[in-house]
């Protein structure tokens, strides 16, 4: 079994937010997308997952977030073994404990900003505390736009709504899949700085899949993937350090 990788937390918590032990995933057709991956994401850490196309980043995220189950091995979200859960309970756990941010924002066009942000809670039959909603919209810089529809916002503003929506249920982990992939450079930086501040100031755990070394530099740790394995862990990553690793992998 591969040695587990421990991503360093900025604010060490009492337990791992996410824990993978000897996780492998083989898709129908025989592609081994994850090959014996063991890692811990401590509570309060900001972890970037980088690697060449096809190295297994999305598969790792899907398994770690309970969107999919591994073929073998164990995935725990806050200590709860995901593989042992039925589909319904796994969906509930995901809804309650995981937030998602996607490249395409995935907001509902017919709903206001406020209703988009609170949707995950309402789906779970809960209402947000008014203080928390206020704090979130102020943190993402949109307190004046609560009644707007997504189409009335810029791409960066829509992504900030999506980040507020990901946080509304106070999840154990926010998974961000190429969150700046559709944004220009300057807007991307504001979104990454926002994610960074949520980790630093709120202790939010964030796992971000990215192909962009400059984005990975906002994280505490970059996990470098190749051929379904985590082949390296870069602490306090810089863009050149991550870019060099990726170039070396593509050449090697």
Ligand X SMILES: Nc1ncnc2c1ncn2[C@@H]1O[C@H](COP(=O)(O)OP(=O)(O)OP(=O)(O)O)[C@@H](O)[C@H]1O
Residues binding ligand X (CB under 6 A) = 27, 29, 31, 33, 51, 53-59, 211
Supply the DSSP string of the chain, one letter for each residue: -PPPEEPPPSS--SSEEEEEEEEEEE-TTS-EEEEEEEEEEETT-EEEEE-STTSSHHHHHHHHTTSS--SEEEEEETTEESTTS-HHHHHHHHHHHEEEEETT----TTS-HHHHHHHHHHHTT----HHHHHHHHHHTT-GGGTT--GGGS-HHHHHHHHHHHHHTT--SEEEEESTTTTS-HHHHHHHHHHHHHHHHHH--EEEEE-S-HHHHTTSSEEEEEETTEEEEEEES--HHHHHHHHHHHHH-
Q: How far is the CB of 56 from ligand X (least distance, A)?
A: 4
By beta-carbon proximity to ligand X, the closer residue of 44 and 179 is 179
- Say how far apart CA 59 and CA 215 lie, in whole Å: 20
CB of 97 to ligand X, least distance (A): 22
Give the residue with the Cβ less far from ligand X, 56 or 70: 56
Q: How far is the CB of 93 from ligand X (least distance, A)?
A: 22
Instruction: Tell me whether residue 42 or residue 56 sits nearer to ligand X (CB atom).
Output: 56
Tell me the C-alpha distance between 246 and 251, whole Å. Answer: 9
Cβ closer to ligand X: 31 or 247?
31
In the complex with ligand X, the residue whose CB is nearer, 115 or 227, is 227
Could you tell me the smallest distance in angstroms from the CB atom of residue 243 to ligand X?
15
In the complex, minimum distance from the CB of residue 31 to ligand X, in angstroms, rounded to a whole number: 4
Decide whether 64 or 133 has the Cβ nearer to ligand X. Answer: 64
- Nearest approach in angstroms of CB 208 to ligand X is 13
Q: Which two tokens stand for residue 137?
A: 């919209």
């Amino acid at each position: 079994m591969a040695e587990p990788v421990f991503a360093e937390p900025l604010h060490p918590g009492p337990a791992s937010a996410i824990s993978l032990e000897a996780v492998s995933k083989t898709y129908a057709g025989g592609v081994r997308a994850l090959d014996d991956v063991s890692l811990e994401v401590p509570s309060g850490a900001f972890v970037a997952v980088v690697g060449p196309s096809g190295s297994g980043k999305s598969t790792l995220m899907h398994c770690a977030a309970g969107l999919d189950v591994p073929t073998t091995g164990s995935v725990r979200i806050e200590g709860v073994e995901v593989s042992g859960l039925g589909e319904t309970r796994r969906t509930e756990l995901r809804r309650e404990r995981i937030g998602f941010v996607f490249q395409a924002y995935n907001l509902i066009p017919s709903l206001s900003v406020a209703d988009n942000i609170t949707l995950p809670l309402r789906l779970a039959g809960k209402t947000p505390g008014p203080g928390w909603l206020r704090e979130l919209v102020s943190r993402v810089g949109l307190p004046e736009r609560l009644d707007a529809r997504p189409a009335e916002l810029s791409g960066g503003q829509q992504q900030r709504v999506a980040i507020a929506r990901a946080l509304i249920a106070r999840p154990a982990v926010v998974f961000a899949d190429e969150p700046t992939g559709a944004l220009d450079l300057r807007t991307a930086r504001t979104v990454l700085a926002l994610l960074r501040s949520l980790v630093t100031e709120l202790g939010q755990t964030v796992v971000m899949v990215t192909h962009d070394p400059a984005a990975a530099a906002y994280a505490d740790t970059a996990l470098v993937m190749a051929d379904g394995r985590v082949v390296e862990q870069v602490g306090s990553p810089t863009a050149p350090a991550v870019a060099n690793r990726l170039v070396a992998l593509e050449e090697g």
